[in-house]
Structure formats: structure tokens, C-alpha cells
Amino acid sequence: MKRNNKKILRAVTVSQSLGFCRQVMIKMRTMGYEMVAVTSPGPELDKLRNEDGFHCVAVPMERHISVVHDLASLCCMIKVLRKERPYVVHSMTPKAGMICMLAAWITRVPRRVHTFTGLVWPTATGLKRKVLMMTDWLTCACATHVIPEGQGVLNDLKEGGITHKPMKVLGYGNVMGVDMERFNPARFVFHKDESAFTFVFVGRIVGDKGINELVDAFTRLQGKHPNARLVLVGNYEHNLDPVSDATRQMIDVNEAINACGPKYGDELLQQYVDADCFVMPSYREGFPNTVLEAGAMGLPSIVTDINGSREIVVNERNGLIVPSKNADALYEAMLRMMTDDDLRIRMAHDARQMIASRFECGFVQKCQIDFYKKIID
């Protein structure tokens, strides 16, 4: 049976990641394409099926390395692809990439696309690093098209010898973009405590996000500047990469630190509005959407000198860039942000405009749609 060259299957490891491709799927459907979503079972998959009306298929996948579970996922994916017979399979996130690209190669899907939104192996060591590099190599070997989310990811893939296939960053690198109408501080009422200076972090509260260094730096800063505040928006992950016991204790006992849990929708945006500076001290990222969101909300950022972050933040234009895993440098940047009003105000003024000029969601989506048209036609 001949394949429908307008049938595209999008795959991610966990359903929470469907947000990265939902809007493009909606636009492609209006253009006559048949869009299918595949991911692990979850409420986001149910919502895409029940509210948006997409054909959705659940394939359980584990984020961590598990030979038994991964083989089961691969077999299930092969069955799905043989039944659906898409013309394009496009995966994102590491585990979905390896499983989907291998399954698509086995079932001879004509166009096999993987987007690397971030690389884990550059910060890993020993056997784990070798295994992670091998999985990325296998993903690229099975893919017909490799899209790195940003120039930094592209460079790492080349320098690490993961692939020698031609690669091209779409647009300025981000896969989702920012809805500048939704992420607009003018929509909100400020609830700031004018006597306090608030830093905000949004993301998983884990070691890999630099939380140990952030809490260390903030605790020292708050000792000299009692009006400093730190808001941590996100969940702890006790199994994958927990923060140190000392860090958790400091978070629990310091009344100036508010670990408020995850926030969504306008509740999350209010956290940006009520802050003075965004902080993202990660060890690694693909292209951190929270940095884009904070900038769109008019916040200057402090980020580490890593892929993605340094492609969004221009040092002393819309934020400050510091070395990763360096609590002293982070402390100095946070101190400077608190005490240099002229610099902070100027960076805040430029932040929103710089995001709008490069990462507005309509532009980002157009880049992806143009790519699909090119590889299908």
C-alpha cells in the first residue's frame, strides 16, 4: 500500500513534551496534512486527542536507560509505524529519538527526522558518557535529517563525532518560540514587594539545573542583603538528580527562599512579573524556553555559559553570563544585578525586544513548516 506523503508522525518521550509540537501540528492540519502524535501515556496526550481532535497513539517509553523497557518500546513502535505508514517520522527528546529513528529505519519510513533539543553526554563521564554518545550516534545513523536546536548543539554533534551528515539550524534555533501576546507583562498587575529584590528560577529543582550553586550563592548574598528573595518554581526530582542534602536543608530553613512548586498558565507568568531577575544556572540545556519566557516578560537573566542560554542572552545586553558550576561567579552576578540599577534597568528594557526579534512563535513555526514542505515536495 502506497504511503500518504502528507502523513506526519510526531513523537516525544513523555506527554509533557507535546507542547513543543502542538501548535505546528495544528497549523499543518489546516494545510491538509494528517498529523499523528506518539508518546508515553499521560494527560497531555489525552488532551491532544480529546480536545484538539488529533489521532494519538500511546507507546510507553522510559526516560532513563533500561534495556528491557527500551526493547519493549521499540517493538511497540515498530508495530505502530507498520500500521500508520507515515511518510515522515519526526522525533524529539533523546529516548523517543533513538526508538523512533531505529523503528522508522526498520520499517523504511522515507523521511526520518530527529531534532536534538539538548545533549546529555557532554556533561557525563565514564561508561555513561559512552552509552549516551552511542545512542545519539545510532539516532543520527538511522535518521535522514538531523536538526540541532541551536548552533551550540550542532557544534557538539560535529566535534563529538556523533554524525557527519549535513545539519542546519532552523531559524535562530528554538523549536517552540514565544507567544508575545500571551507573554506580555502589560496583561498583569504587579504584586511586587517594593522593599525586596526577587530572583526567580523556573524548572526542575535538581542538581543538573545548578540549584546547589544557586542556593549557595543566594544564601551568601542574602546574608549581606537581607532584602534579597529567591523563588524556586518547579518540582523536586528525588530519583533522577536530587539536590544535595545541604541544599535541601537550606531551602527548607531559609524563609527568604520560597520553593512554591510548579506553576502553570498565568500563575507562572505572574511569577515572572513579580520578580526582578531570572536565574538559570544549568550545567546543560538544549534551548531553554524559560529563558525565552522570562525575557519576553521583560526580565533580565543570569545564565551559565552553555548551549542555548548563550544563544538567547547577550552578555550585558539582556542579561549576564557566568561559568557553569561556579557559585562564586553566580554570587557576583547576582550581587551586581541587585546593586547596579542602571545596568539592570537597561537590560530589562532590551530583554523583551530581543526575544520578539528572533523567537516570536509565528516565525519559529514558519521555519518548521517550510522545512516540512522542502523534504516532502
* Residue 337: CATH number of its domain: 3.40.50.2000
Residue 123: the pLDDT is: 81
pLDDT exceeds cutoff 80 at 87: yes
Same domain (yes/no): 214, 301: yes
Residue 141: the pLDDT is: 97
- The Cα 120–Cα 267 span in angstroms is 30
In which band, very low, low, confident or very high, does the pLDDT at 173 lie, cut at 50, 70 and 90? confident
- Over the stretch 209-242, which tens digit does the pLDDT of each residue have? 999 999 999 999 999 999 999 999 999 988 878 9
Same domain (yes/no): 248, 345: yes
Same domain (yes/no): 224, 120: no
Same domain (yes/no): 60, 117: yes
CB of 227 within 8 A of CB of 191?
no
Report, as an integer, the average pLDDT of 266-288.
94
Same domain (yes/no): 26, 171: yes
The x, y and z cell numbers of residue 10, run together, are 510526531
Report, as an integer, the average pLDDT of 305-309.
92
pTM, rounded to two decimals: 0.83
- What is the DSSP pairing of strand 319-322 with strand 301-304? parallel
Q: Which residue has the higher pLDDT, 193 or 30?
A: 30
pLDDT exceeds cutoff 80 at 344: yes
In degrees, rounded to 5, the angle at the alpha carbon of residue 347 between the alpha carbons of residues 342 and 352 is 140
Handedness of CA 74, 78, 81, 85 (dihedral sign): positive
Residue 211: the pLDDT is: 97
Report, as an integer, the average pLDDT of 33-48.
96
SS3 229: strand
Residue 1: the pLDDT is: 64
Report, as an integer, the average pLDDT of 279-288.
91
Instruction: Look at the block and give the residue holding cell 523517543.
Output: 96
Same domain (yes/no): 326, 191: yes
In which band, very low, low, confident or very high, does the pLDDT at 9 lie, cut at 50, 70 and 90? very high
Residue 284: the pLDDT is: 87
pLDDT exceeds cutoff 90 at 3: no
Report, as an integer, the average pLDDT of 195-199.
95
pLDDT exceeds cutoff 90 at 285: no
Same domain (yes/no): 333, 193: yes
Angstrom CA distances, 230 to 6, 111, 185, 348, stand at: 48, 46, 20, 18
Nearest to 145, CA basis, from 105, 174, 96: 105
Same domain (yes/no): 30, 170: yes
Report, as an integer, the average pLDDT of 90-119.
95
Indicate the number of domains in the chain.
2
Same domain (yes/no): 231, 329: yes
Q: What percent of the chain has pLDDT over 70?
A: 100
SS3 73: helix
Helix (H) or strand (E) holding 363: helix 361-376
Same domain (yes/no): 98, 137: yes
Average pLDDT of the chain?
A: 94
Helix (H) or strand (E) holding 136: helix 126-142
* Structural domain range at position 43: 4-177+361-376
Residue 214: the pLDDT is: 98
Same domain (yes/no): 242, 102: no
Same domain (yes/no): 28, 145: yes
Report, as an integer, the average pLDDT of 310-332.
97
pLDDT exceeds cutoff 90 at 260: yes
